[in-house]
Amino acid sequence: MTEITFLVHEAEEGGYHAEAAGFGILAEGDTISELKENIKSGISLFYHHKISNGKP
């Protein structure tokens, strides 16, 4: 299993943004709860794209 670590920052305009270094996964949300859901969606899309393109 691959471990993905996200760096979370408070956005200057309010809310939060997160990035997974080395994976190209970005997410943002107005609340931490919303950010977590958007991170889950980003991870899902990342792996769906990899599988669709025949990458392990």
Mean pLDDT (whole number) for 7-17: 97
Indicate the pLDDT class of residue 52, thresholds 50, 70 and 90: confident
Mean pLDDT within 4-32: 96
* pTM for the full predicted model: 0.85
The residue range of the domain holding 37 is 6-52
The torsion region of residue 5 among left (phi > 0), alpha (psi -120 to 50) and beta comes to beta
Indicate whether 11 belongs to any domain.
Answer: yes
On whether residue 17 sits in a domain, the answer given is yes
Per the listing, tokens 């996200």 go with 6
* Within-domain flag for 1: no
Q: 48 or 37: whose pLDDT is higher?
A: 37
User: How many folded domains does the chain comprise?
Assistant: 1
Sign of CA dihedral 19, 7, 47, 40: negative
